[in-house]
Amino acid sequence: MVDLTGILGGPWAPPADNALPPEDQLRDAIMGSGLTPPKEILLDGKVHRFISGTKGSGGHDNPGWYIAFGDGIPAGRFGCWRSGIESTWRADVGRKLTHTEEMAHVRRLSEAKMLRDAETARKQEVASSTVEKIWSDCAAAIPDHPYLKAKGIKTHGARVTGDGRLVVPLFDHDGVLSSLQYIAADGTKLYHSGAQTGSRFWQIGTLDEPGTLYVAEGFATSATVTEETGRPCVVAYSASNLVPVVGLLREMYGATQDIVIVADHDASGVGQRYAEQASAKHGARMVMPPEPGDANDYKKAGNDLAALLSPPKDDWLVPADDFCSQPSPISWLVKRWVQDKALVMVHGPSGGGKTFVVLDWCLRMAGAVPEWAGLKVRPGTVVYLAGEGHHGLRGRVAAWKVHNQAGGLSMWLSRDGCDLNTPTGYMRVVDNVRALPKRPSLIVVDTLHRFLLGDENSAQDAKTMLDACGALMGEFGCSVLLVHHTGVSDEAQHRARGSSAWRGALDIEISIVPGKDGGPIQIVQRKSKDAELAEPVWAELTSVTIPGWVDEDGQPVTSAVVSLTEAPAAPKKESKVETLRKQFEAAWWASGAEDRNGMPYLTRAALRAKLLEDGCTEATADKKLKPGYPDQLIGALLVAEIISPFGNGWVVSNDIQGSAMMMSRGPR
């Protein structure tokens, strides 16, 4: 007995007892694709046509087709020429097919496709030889045609057959007539049997004048659009034909042509779906009636179709004279520093004082303190989202109230942090802020790192956080202030840590620069998108004892508050001559601190050796030693009468400088 395992891929198994006959399986597949299947299914390997149930099918127009083979594993193809549907089919035999059967199935599908293509070509060849004669023999339509009267449209070059049906043409992109559509008085539509309709269209009106070109599905819709707008409208004849037709129009008229698709508002959503595909793929705009139906239905119902098709200009571009005719001053929470309804960032190194500065602004707003640094502060409610340091923050607020003798504060603080750039975290913030008695003027996020899920260096994660901040600003009509860190390197001290996306999105960016050697803090505005940069402000931290607060040892508790102060005096810049004198003195000490006649003396050789030791090239060292260069070492000191030539070098001739150097050397 022959072993079939290698051929069948395992023991053969008959179909399940409840499996449908292949004819019924094919019928169900056709129905599942949205087509109406024929009553009789033949698995004979021939092309069979049927009324598909699609819009416009009926009578002698049978756009549905199928090809099925009954021998072996039943399989084939089916579809609808009108709707563009095409699908492969294989019967369920209750088991996995063997490799040999899979190969046979592929060959059958290929054969079915060849038969379908041959049938299509044959039908089109037969049709193309007749549609031209039929079209030329048809009489011009008259306005009293029942269909035209029912739709309320003009003839637009449509014709009529001998039996009274309206006829409209379908052309290819070269203007060659490919098919005809016959429209009965009751609106029933049929295509000429076998003629090609895909990517075929008819343009009502001309593009002699520049402007919009409309595209719609049916003849009545397109005619209505043209009559309403005075602009040409292309008849695509079906929803599925919108995509290829709009593509052809884009090729024909170029990328700058304004193309508007007027979609049918049908219950199935097919018209909208294909119109959206064509719009996205080929760069066309799309409009659709807000009510079920097409543009013709919309107009007949008494609606303003013109407004739908050509909406009024949105005044996106306005004349510059009008734009600047009315003042639009910037609104501020803290004048020149914290803008209203803006995204602000304050950054600085850890421990640099940034939270003290931000708290001072917030508490002045919440406590109705009218000014800061001589600038107006607008009273308002503040929400402070604190992600860390709550124990210290409690003392800072208390100390500020004592120092500023403030009363009640219109300010709320979070108990902990959350991931603001996640739906859960965002809604937690929104729900709590909505519950407040007043809408906030300012929401502070301190620090950004504690409220961000993700990587601050990632532009994508930064975007999600910026989107969340923008949503808060839109929800509450407030500003959002982010407190952030700077990098660790010296060159990163004046910019925020992380992605450059942060700075690009900010309206205002502020740096907190710690003072050197215990000096005052500098508050520097780095960016102000809508106004001139504010002048820097200087501040220092003042210790405040909080009444009634004691630590575990009974000692009074203190905290710090920000106090504004004067800018530190700029260090006196050393003159160039003094710098060169010190260079000369250093070489004198290095050479043994010789003297002549009680004054410091330095040989040329010793000075040159010191210059080379310090990194000068020989050419540079020689130049510094020449008296003819008044901007160089020896020339400048000679001009300033600090040194004079002596022997093989120079002696310090300035009594004050010379005496100071000799006193430093001491007696020998």
Backbone angles phi, psi at 105, to 5 degrees: -65, -45
Query: Cα separation of 117 and 196, whole Å?
Result: 12
CA dist 18 → 300, 353, 515 (Å): 53, 79, 87
Burial class (CB in 10 A: 0-12, 13-18, 19+), 321: exposed
Number of Cβ within a 10 Å radius of residue 268: 10
Which of 332, 209, 309 lies closest to 261 in space, CA to CA?
309
- Inter-residue contact 172 to 164 (CB < 8 Å): no
Start-to-end CA distance of the chain, whole Å, equals 125
Token digits of residue 298: 């919309």
Query: Cα separation of 88 and 109, whole Å?
Result: 7
Q: What is the pLDDT of residues 401-438, one digit of tens each?
A: 999 999 899 999 999 999 999 988 999 999 999 999 99
Query: Cα separation of 457 and 131, whole Å?
Result: 66
Which of 486, 528, 535, 541 lies closest to 511 in space, CA to CA?
486
Q: What is the pLDDT of residues 47-74, one digit of tens each?
A: 888 988 775 444 456 778 898 888 778 8
Token digits of residue 75: 């399989």
Task: Name residues whose C-beta falls within 8 Å of residue 210's C-beta, 6 or more positions apart in sequence.
Answer: none
Which of 505, 484, 482 lies closest to 493 in space, CA to CA?
484
Q: At what angle do helices 242-253 and 270-282 cross, to 10 degrees?
A: 30
The pLDDT score that the predictor gives to residue 649 is 92
Helix (H) or strand (E) holding 7, with range, is helix 5-8
- What stretches in the chain show pLDDT beneath 70? 1-19, 55-61, 82, 119-129, 194, 312-314, 488-493, 668
The pLDDT score that the predictor gives to residue 14 is 44
Task: Name residues whose C-beta falls within 8 Å of residue 622's C-beta, 6 or more positions apart in sequence.
Answer: 608
Query: Cα separation of 203 and 207, whole Å?
Result: 10
Which of 203, 202, 150, 153 lies closest to 181 in space, CA to CA?
202
Burial class (CB in 10 A: 0-12, 13-18, 19+), 453: middle
Measured in residues, the chain has a length of: 668
- Inter-residue contact 388 to 590 (CB < 8 Å): no
Token digits of residue 115: 């038969």
Amino acid 472 reads L
- Inter-residue contact 185 to 146 (CB < 8 Å): yes
Token digits of residue 100: 């040999």
The pLDDT score that the predictor gives to residue 58 is 47
The pLDDT score that the predictor gives to residue 317 is 81
Task: Name residues whose C-beta falls within 8 Å of residue 586's C-beta, 6 or more positions apart in sequence.
Answer: 610
3-class SS letters over 125-188: HHHHHHHHHHHHHCEECCCCCHHHHHHCCCCCCCEECCCCCEEEEEECCCCCEEEEEEECCCCC
Helix (H) or strand (E) holding 594, with range, is strand 594-596
Query: Cα separation of 639 and 641, whole Å?
Result: 5
CA dist 217 → 158, 179, 220, 293 (Å): 16, 16, 9, 12
Amino acid 430 reads V
Beta bridge mates, 384: 413, 444
Amino acid 551 reads D
The pLDDT score that the predictor gives to residue 297 is 95
Beta bridge mates, 659: none
Helix (H) or strand (E) holding 333, with range, is strand 332-334
Tell if the pTM clears 0.75, that is, is over it. no
DSSP 8-state symbol, 266: -
